[in-house]
Structure formats: structure tokens, C-alpha cells
Structure 1
């Protein structure tokens, strides 16, 4: 059988790093208020010459280098983002051009914070179907451009960045000890649109709009949904929480990460946390955290990891991967 194997990871962050103290100079907030409620201490904010596509391309270059292959070896690019450079064409095609790839399938996926998980399942399906051999799967955002900087309940939560993985179709015996994506599970429930959304769009207001969120309700749904979907995906793989070496979650809020781990009976030490350094980077947060843990040596080849995320829509999902 064919299985999609992660052969390289990469990430990119804007040059400007903003602390809570610096943010408090222009926003009615304090470092203590932000840390106590979210765990966030820093975020990166894109400069004038940094866009979703440029950050994505830099993350891809790092992932390609880690995989030991060239851009010409890629025949599929799937980019998850809620903040594309343009309404169209897809930012994935801009990344393709920046990497010097003349022809490959390239498109965007829009599922907000769950976008990377959606992109992983789409790419995995296309690789296992035999349509493609190697894919770049990317999560990239410049959320700072859709924030209301006068709304302290949301603007302190988000940052910009990009993460990418190289997925390669490889022959596998299909066992749970064999490398690759073992199982994925995705969900969506559009009834909760008003809890987390952007109040604009080409077909409605003709404007980009700003992020709006009812944090308390989102928190409640997140803990329940994330714990459930992780158990679902592990069940599909024939595994249980005790088999997991690392959980790489969407980095929305440190309290959500803690509550989800407790609900699953997982030790906090098994959860990769970068929200304190990057804030919530939406679709970029899972691949950013994954790359951080791979590069510092925590995540090693052969270990079992679970990727999970939930975002506006609501959308949510998880993937079980033998790294």
C-alpha cells in the first residue's frame, strides 16, 4: 500500500517580534492580563514586504532542505490560509512561482485554524490515489492584517507566520509502526458562524473585514471537539492515547491546550506548546509547532504524533502520524 510520509519540515516568521509590553503601548491591555488568560508572551507581525505567500515560500524552502530534495521534485502544493495575498489567484500559485516550479498542481484550502489539517488530508488522499509523488503542504497567515487593533479581546491573540511539510508517497506494509499518516478525521458545523468569523468578504461587503470572536463560547466548543476528534482519529488507526508520544495542537490558547490534555489523560509534557512565542497563527500554528519540535530534537523519527486543530466555521480535525 501507499502511505504519505513526512520527510521534511520548515517554518518562517516575520522579522518583527512584538512583546506584550510593546503591544500595551498602543492597546488597552497589560502583559499580566494577556499571559494569565492566554499564555501568550510574543507574536510576530508581518512587515510591508512580508506576505502570506513570501512567508509560505520561505517555510517551503526550509522544508525542502530538510527533506534533501529540490523544488523541482514537487508535483503538488496545497496551501491552507484564511489571509491570501489576493482574492485570486490562489496564493499557492505564487509560492509555486517563487520556488521556480514551472508546472505542478497548486491550490489553496480555506478552513481557518483547521486549514492545515484539511490540507494534510487532501494531499494525503491525492498521494495515496497515485495522482502525485511529493507534495508541499503549507499553513501560512498574515492575520495581523485582518485584526481590529482597538478590540483588545482579539488583537492580542494572533500573530503571523508559516509552516510547511514535505509529504512523499512511499510503499508501506500498512502497520501502525510504519512511517506515515495513519489516520485523519475532519469535521465542520456551520451553525456556529457567529462565534468566530470575519465581518467582510468580496460577496457581501466588498471589503476584507476584521476578526470577530466570542471567546468564552469558542473555548467551550474547542475543548470538547478537540478531545473527541483526537480519540476518533486514534480509534481509526487502532491506537489509544497511551500510544502517543507527542500531541502537536493548534496554538490558540494555553488554557485550551491544558484542558484538552487533561480530558485525554495526557501528561502536559507530551504537548508541544509554542503559543507563548508565536500567539495564534491560525492555519500556520500546527506546522510551526511541529517544525519547532522537530528542530529542537523533541520529535524524532518513528515516534507517534497527533496533530489537531479547531477554527472558525466551526471546523476541526486531527491526524495520527508515525513520524
Structure 2
């Protein structure tokens, strides 16, 4: 999907993770597992878990407040709020509407989207489209997940993976310094049965589902799909942009599992040393994992203005979305 010439720039970022930690040692007391087994297979050591009174909305507020405090941004002229979440507080109102109310933003569109672990890249793609088309000028993009509330902590294959958190970025009109270079999105709805959470329907593609409010995942099938699909998507993105893997400063894939990231890197011809991830101490935070990795890259002094980034989200649906960006934030306030 070739982009028209973008006029949108990512100008600021903020994040929040809960204080409570769930370590591998904690999980050893809950299910039949071990720290060595978890680290070898996932690269994860800790996850953050929402407190009793923490929800996707409250963590989103704190991520936006962090953005404002870091960059001195004014939210009063935000004219669209997009929230990526699979775990909203309510079926409705949306988390986006809650954010509007909390920050008293006077005149803005507000909606949630659910593209699971590809949600952040989907939301960025939409923000760019809304701004480049001239429909909006300042879009607040937020990812927020409380996956601990939909995780089955008796299932040792999935409970070791997931954590909670939130992150936010501002995307603004800027014809001189646009961020967006290329985009590639895709879907394999037939594979939805491999990772799901039931709601009204109890069957999918003619097959009976495990009826549970908790997530159900066939990790082997998702792994096979992701390690086949994402490298192909990376190749498509680079071709669109007229680039090679060597032109990318940082590859930022969804932090699903470090072994999966290693396999994707090998097949895509990207050194794993050029990746930014967030799973080691935050676990798999679904749509929040990519912006948390960006925040960590900034905190560690790795990510610099002028860097070329290749972001790639992938997950339930099955759906995926990749972007090539030029990183160019505002100076911190």
C-alpha cells in the first residue's frame, strides 16, 4: 500500500506501567513452570499487573499525562482521539470518550479500535490518513491494555506471557517534517480461531470454541503464521520505500515472544541487535508493546531523532500492520 505524500508527524510520546510486578518466580508458585523455561522460550522475566482500581482508562490517563509532562503539549486543540484496546473498561462508552472527559478536550472525535496486537500500528496509520487527507490536524493515539483480567492463570502456556500498560503519542499536521514513509496491512480471518476471546458467538469458521471470558491461544499456529507473514510484510514495506534492511536504524516488532522476534529477524535479514522490544520486563502487552519499546529506546538513549524505524504489529484476527517512519519528536518541554 503506497502512501500518498504524508503531512503528519509524531511529535510526542508518553507511557505508563503499573507498579505491581509478576515475576517468573511468582509464576513458579502458581503453575508448573520455571524461570529458566520461561526465559528460554519467551525472553520474559517480569510483567506489570494492573492494581485493583486500575483499568485501561486510568492507565491511559497516566500515559497521556506523562506525554504532556515530558513535552509540554497542549491537548485543548486535539481534534481526534483514537484508542487501541482489546480490554476497554466497558462495551461502551469507549476509552477514547473517557479520555476526552478526563482531560476536558473541548471539540474532538473519539473512538476505540480493536486490531489486537496490531492496534497501535493500525491507529497510527489511521491518524496519518486523517491528517494527510485534511480531515484532522492533531490526533491523540493511545494504546491501553489490562490483559491480566482476561488471562487464565491456570493455563501455564499463556499466563506466563501477558502484562498490562498504556502508551500515547501525538500525531500532528506537519508538511515540512512528516513521519510516515510506507505502510503495509493485511488480514487472515481464517486464522482467527487460533487466538480469541469469546463474546456472543460460540463457534468460528464452523468450529466450536472454548467458551470463556479468558483468552484462548494456539501458540504454535500463531507462531507459524507470524514468522511467515511478518518477514514478507517487511520485504513489501522496504520495496515500497525503495529501501533495504540496512537503511533501517531500528526494527520495532510487536513484543510477543523473543524467540518469535529472533525468527522474524533471521528471515527478514535484520540483525536482532537492531530491534527495540519491551517483553523482558513488561511481557506481551498486546497493542502497547510497540510504543513501550519506543519509550524504552528513548530512555536508554538508543532511539534518536532522524532514525528510520520499521514498526510491525501482528496478532489476533489474524491481522498485521507495518509502517516505516522517520522519527522526529519535538524538543522536550
**1:2–1:36: structure 2 CA closer, same or farther, 3 Å change rule?**
closer
Question: Shift in Å at residue 102 of structure 1?
Answer: 2.8
Residue in 2 aligned with 1:160? 164
Is 1:46 aligned to 2:50, yes or no? yes
Q: 1:113 aligns with which of 117, 134, 137?
A: 117
| 2:189 match | 190
Q: Secondary structure at the match of 2:157?
A: helix
Distance 1:298 1:61 in 2: 23
Q: Deviations over 1:183-206 (max 9, x none)?
A: 1111111101111111x215669x
2:151 maps to what in 1?
Answer: 147
Match of residue 99, structure 2, among 92, 95, 98: 95
The offset of 1:32, in angstroms, is: 1.2
Gaps of 5+ in 1: 173-177
Aligned partner of 2:236 among 229, 232, 236? 232
Change (3 A) 1:209 1:59: same
Offset at 1:70? 1.4
1:33 is aligned, of 15, 34, 37, to 37
- Give a deviation string over 1:35-69, Cα, whole Å, max 9, x none: 11111100001011110011112111222333431
Q: Deviations over 1:100-125 (max 9, x none)?
A: 21321110010110111111111110
Tell me: CA distance 1:204–1:102, structure 2 relative to 1, closer, same or farther (3 Å).
farther
Aligned length: 316
Cα pair 1:246 1:306 within 8 Å, conserved = yes
Q: Which residue of the other structure, out of 15, 21, 45, is the alignment partner of 1:17?
A: 21
CA deviation string 1:60-109 (max 9, x = no partner)? 12223334311213111110011011001111111121222132111001
Alignment check: 8 A CA contact 1:2 1:169 kept: no
Which residue does 1:123 correspond to in 2? 127
Cα 1:2–1:215 shift into 2, 3 Å: closer
CA drift of 1:234 comes to 2.2
Q: Does structure 1 conserve the Cα–Cα contact (< 8 Å) formed by 2:6 and 2:128?
A: no
Structure 2: unaligned runs, 5 residues or longer: 204-210, 328-333
Partner of 1:62: 66
What residue number does 2:199 align with? 201
Contact 2:77 2:107 in 1 (8 A): no
Q: What pairs up with 1:163-178 in 2 under 5 angstroms?
A: 163-172=167-176
Determine which of 138, 142, 146 is the counterpart of 1:134: 138
Residue of structure 1 in register with 2:262 after alignment: 258
Match among 266, 289, 292 for residue 288 of structure 1: 292
When normalised by structure 1's length, the TM-score is 0.94
- Contact conserved, 1:128 with 1:169, CA < 8 A, in 2? yes
Separation of aligned partners in 2, 1:228 and 1:99: 41
Q: Give the aligned CA root-mean-square deviation in angstroms.
A: 1.6
Write the distance in 1 (CA, Å) between the matches of 2:146 and 2:212.
Answer: 13
TM-fit CA distance, 1:28: 2.2
Separation in 1 of the partners of 2:125 and 2:212?
Answer: 28
Match of 1:273 among 274, 277, 280: 277
Q: Does 1:249 align with 2:248?
A: no
Q: Does 1:215 align with 2:219?
A: yes
Question: In the aligned structure 2, how far is the partner of 1:67 from the partner of 1:106?
Answer: 22
Query: In 1, distance between residues paired with 2:157 and 2:255?
Result: 17
